[in-house]
Amino acid sequence: MLHSIAYTPQGERYRWFRASLIDGVMDVPLQPLADDAVLMPQAPWRTSPQEG
């Protein structure tokens, strides 16, 4: 699940977490997933550092 997006000079940086829903209660871990844990698509619609 997407937690937040940071816009940096190097481009967008996404923070993700793996949530679980048990009996209507969402459990959100304290630590987000590692940066390389989620494969992000590279497409023309994504911003690039040059577009600033």
Q: Is the pLDDT reported for residue 50 higher than 70?
A: no
Cα 42 to the center of its chain, rounded Å: 14
Please tell me the predicted confidence (pLDDT) of residue 13. Answer: 83
Tokens 């390389």: give the residue: 36
Tokens encoding 49 = 């550092």
End-to-end CA distance of the chain: 26
Whole-prediction pTM:
0.52
Q: What is the pLDDT of residues 12-32, one digit of tens each?
A: 888 888 888 999 999 888 788
Please tell me the predicted confidence (pLDDT) of residue 24. Answer: 94
Please tell me the predicted confidence (pLDDT) of residue 1. Answer: 85
Tokens 């619609």: give the residue: 45
Please tell me the predicted confidence (pLDDT) of residue 14. Answer: 84
For the range 13-19, what are the long-range contacts, defined as Cβ-Cβ under 8 Å and sequence gap of 24 or more? 14/38, 14/40
Average pLDDT across the chain, whole number: 79
